[in-house]
Chains A and B, each alone.
Chain A
Amino acid sequence: MSIIISSCSRLPVLHIICELLVRAHVPSPEWAHSLYAVQHTACNGSSGLGLYSRPFIESFEETPMLVAVLTYMGYGILTIFGYLRDFLRDWKIERCHVAREREEQRDFVPLYQDFENFYTRNLYMRIRDSWNRPICSVPGAKVDLVERVSPDYNWTFDYTGKVVEGVINMGSYNYLGFAENTGYCADASAEVTMKYGVGVASTRQEMGNLDRHEEMEELVAKFLGVESAMAFGMGFATNSMNIPALTGKGCLILSDELNHASLVLGARLSGSTIRVFKHNNMQSLEKMLRDAIVHGQPRTHRPWKKILILVEGIYSMEGSIVRLPEVIALKKRYRAYLYLDEAHSIGALGPGGRGVVDYFGLDPRDVDVMMGTFTKSFGAAGGYIGGRKELLEYLRSHSHSAVYAASMSPPVVEQIIASMKCIMGEDGTTLGRDRVQQLAENTLYFRRRLTEMGFIIYGNSDSPVVPMMLYMPAKIGAFGREMLKRNIGVVVVGFPATPIIESRARFCISAAHTKDMLDTALSVISEVGDLLQVKYSRHERLIYDQIQD
């Protein structure tokens, strides 16, 4: 278990005890690895290296001491009650809702270790209603939810048949508002549905290479400003099935500690050596690069065949933006290769919506592998890889996805083509550009207002992913429920997606949010924030004044 404990160093003993208590019951350590730990730096000004063309403002306010203590106590109490209730269930005093193994297989080796689901059973189950809420409309700025009730404290759900209408959606990754059922993109997609059908029933290398796929890939390459691009049917699989084609034994992968599970899986499947550097910490990355080149492979000391740096554009749980200018400088200095995952940043950052490279005004050719997804900003599905022609030719023949997985559904492809053309202005309107701008404005406004209200907000001032700290486990569920009561849909996350004491709510800003919607949401957040007392911030922030300078 390669988990880094780095948060809140003031209370090491208590921290470790609680970590151990809770961690012992977590189903799989993989869960935690990718999303773990955080760097507590106070507001970093722009870097002294002079590589940045704009202020780079990222803040991770320190957890207040009292809050940390109370949070640990909360987990402690939950754990004690968990044991108590498990004991009652064991003695059949309390009814057990967990599905049971069938009689015929009782003498098999148990499929799950007894403690494996402790966390799910005793902690997650209490607040399970905050996740997987079914919706029955477009996941746009407002969304309709299927009403559900639980007769048995979240063990099962009944659907009442009613619909909760017009919930303001602060949870979907609909950054540019292309989740639509009418308009240019939907019409184009509808036409293709009737012409092509929805499936392809073959792989790209066999009989699934449609003209639409080729057209889309040319467009993606043009959009990214790279020589060539290739698309894949699933964003997660784009990472996990292509990294193994790029590196193998004798190669080194340097991965940010907060990288997404798909990057972690891809790195692991590749068989390369993996080393994890501190989140967005360039000193840590540089030290690892130097050590790697100077010392070579462990034991044999042979030089590494190649070094691949894996980073993301926007980190979806922290709202931080990668320090790309510095990463590129390091990569050039040490001749490493750079794999940039723009799952959340493509479309959502930069004046032209071309992602984090555009945001910093850099040259896309400096990034060796430009990866991203179509799921978020484009309102479609799947992922892409862009880069030099040689790279893409190699992937075309060696990507696991091209050889073994079904190619993309034609209507989905059409949605990508249409929305991308819209962003590029090729549809003859400025609609796309306006949306990119609207998103940037919404983001600044929303982040500023939340900070003013006294919440602790993580991440970069320009990131449309806005994590707001809740800390205590009980507040995760309470916040989700209270917001929904007031017709706002939010995402709340806790352990193991975040470090144990850093549970948070996450808002995803969309260009489709109007000022009214944002104001309504903000006033509700403030109201619930007062109710739950989550306005933790003790800083009078000046960062937004800096932006205006």
Chain B
Amino acid sequence: MLFIDYSSAFNTIISTKLRTLGLNTSICNWILDFLMGSPQAPAYHLVLEGILILWIIRLLFSKTYKLQERSDLTEKEKEDLIEEWQPEPLVPPMSKDHPSLNYDIVTGPPSHKIIVNGKECINFASFNFLGFLDNERVKQKALTSLRRYGVGTCGPRGFYGTFDVHLELEDRLAKFMKTEEAIIYSYGFATIASAIPAYSKRGDIVFVDEAACFSIQKGLQASRSFIKYFKHNDMEDLERLLKEQEIEDQRNPRKARVTRRFIIVEGLYINTADVCPLPDLVKLKYKYKVRIFLEESMSFGVLGEHGRGVTEHFGVNIDDIDLISANMENAVASIGGFCCGRSFVIDHQRLSGQGYCFSASLPPMLAAAAIEALNIMEEDPVVILIWFRFFIFMYDLVNKYFQIDSYSAVKSVIGEVYAPALHLQLERSSGSRDTDVRMLRSIVDYCLERQIALTLARYLDKEERFLPPPSIRVVVTIEQTEEDIEKAASCIREAALAILK
């Protein structure tokens, strides 16, 4: 090991010279002591210290290290980045033969007899359940209204867009449904989609059936609430979720006191053609203190002795349902939608329903048409009775043609006897949705050739939360005769045999 002897490093200093510099004795002694009395140090120590000192000097004089490199971008670099950036096209390219690109063209009114792509057919596709679409009384009423009010309303409800007809229609709907209040929207889709976010906010919890239609899904998305899906019409699954929530609530009672909960179901599901078990839902409502919103677009005017929908069908007290929403575009064959219920609930939408506040109101002639349709429904409950006979007939027929017949590769989905719009699905999927859709489309085309107008049920494949399997939707209306229905059923069967075999 190498040692450096410090004591001899400065031994040539002449101490007297220091004194002549004018320093006093004690300081001189201290300096000499310091220089010559140092202990011996190992060389590596010195090297290490030297390196350390150099390092410190380097740190002191080097530039400060910057965390945010990106703020160093020069204008030039920014320009380059901007030049470089290539956005995706506004819309992705589409193939010309996309199945939903080319619409069928209806020439003339879409009533019982309908001209589709130039071919006169019997209409099994429009939701014109009660035949009000080409009802002379309804048309006449609309015409009278047009001659009085013109077509458009030129404003939202708040700003001179409220017509006496709107007030009358709201009043009539409330009376018809036996509720305190009703509110009308100018667009069916916007009705439930606006109603949900008016009540359910961020942090609230909504229990929804998996088969819920698209407008409910959009309403939920707009509400930003916490969404829990339960299996379609499965009350046990719903109860399981409610119980889970109950346990969660016990853990955090303070939060539970301000968290609103809702169950949102459809009366008659458009996607599955079956009815919700409303009495069970009402029981669960009171057991777990959850509010029920019921979407009745398919069941209004269809179910119940007077067409009041699923509440009448089951004999459930309508006050037990917090909010009922339906559109007037199916059975009523007009445009728009409404919500009804207790004033405590409904009135809130007049300032909070976005589709109500921020949109032009319903053209008065369409409201007048809806009033006349309600008049007919009230005067003539027979309409609904005839209706019912049809259900039974259709149900039998479907059984006869599609469920029992093992040759047919088309399976019917008919949850209930009462479904006026039923879905025909493929018994065995080919494995590819596109091929399935194409096959079903061939069946539709085959029937169109033979004067039966059908349609595929359309969905946005990527947007649906739970995409239903592809299907042909068959709509029964009051205007079809038994022969029409028989003809349609046999035609579909024929087509299925011809195309699927």
Q: Which residues of A contact B (CB under 8 A)?
A: 27-28, 30-31, 99-102, 104-105, 107-113, 120, 124, 131-140, 143, 146, 169, 171-174, 178-182, 185-186, 189-190, 193-211, 214, 233-237, 240-241, 244, 246, 260-262, 265, 268-269, 290, 293-295, 303-308, 334-337, 368-369, 373-376, 378-381, 390-391, 393-398, 400-401, 403-406, 408-412, 415, 489, 491
Contacts and interface: CB of A to CB of B under 8 A. Distances in A.
B188 A373 contact: no
B455 interface: yes
A507 to B, nearest CB: 11
A181 B82 contact: no
A179 B152 contact: yes
Contact of A381 (B151, B289, B334): B151
A209 B132 contact: no
A210 B365 CA distance: 20
Contacts of A373: 360
Given A27-B351, A202-B125, A260-B358, A236 B289 contact: no
Contacts of A205: 100, 103, 458
Contacts of B261: 109
Given A131-B159, A135-B163, A391-B90, A406 B335 contact: yes
Given A336-B87, A406-B188, A200 B110 contact: yes
B149 A181 contact: yes
Of A207, A294, A489, chain B has the most CB atoms within 10 Å of the CB of A207
B116 A207 contact: yes
14 contacts: A105-B291, A109-B289, A174-B154, A182-B147, A186-B150, A211-B108, A236-B355, A236-B359, A269-B218, A306-B90, A379-B152, A381-B151, A391-B90, A404-B460
B151 A189 contact: yes
Contacts of B104: 207, 209
Contacts of B78: 290, 294
Given A197-B132, A381-B362, 4 more contacts: A137-B148, A180-B150, A181-B146, A207-B125
Given A137-B149, A181-B147, A335-B85, A173 B154 contact: yes
A269 B116 CA distance: 35
Contact of A379 (B90, B94, B106, B150): B150
A547 B327 CA distance: 50
Interface magnitude class on chain B: 35 or more
Contacts of B330: 201
Given A174-B154, A204-B103, A403-B100, A295 B221 contact: no
A171 B365 CA distance: 21
B50 interface: no
B112 to A, nearest CB: 11
A172 B163 contact: no
B289 A107 contact: yes
A197 B90 contact: no
Contacts of A265: 222, 354
Nearest to A109: B260
Contacts of B458: 203, 205-206, 403-404
Nearest to A175: B154
B341 to A, nearest CB: 11
B153 A139 contact: yes
A73 B214 CA distance: 47
B423 interface: no
Interface in B102-124: 103-111, 114, 116, 123
A265 B218 CA distance: 11
Contacts of B85: 293, 303-304, 335
A172 B155 contact: yes
A28 B204 CA distance: 14
A394 B92 contact: yes
A138 B104 CA distance: 36
B111 A197 contact: yes
A209 B135 CA distance: 20
Contact of A412 (B91, B125, B201, B363): B363
Contacts of B257: 109
B106 A405 contact: no
Contacts of B147: 181-182, 186, 190
Interface stretch (B25-33, B137-145, B382-390, B400-408): B137-145
A403 B460 contact: yes
A379 B357 CA distance: 19
A198 B190 contact: no
B90 A195 contact: no
Q: Which of A109, A140, A211 has the most CB of B within 10 A?
A: A109
- What 7 A-B pairs are tightest by C-beta distance, nearest first? A234-B187, A394-B91, A207-B125, A406-B329, A199-B333, A236-B359, A375-B360
Contacts of A395: 91
Given A190-B147, A394-B94, A169 B160 contact: yes
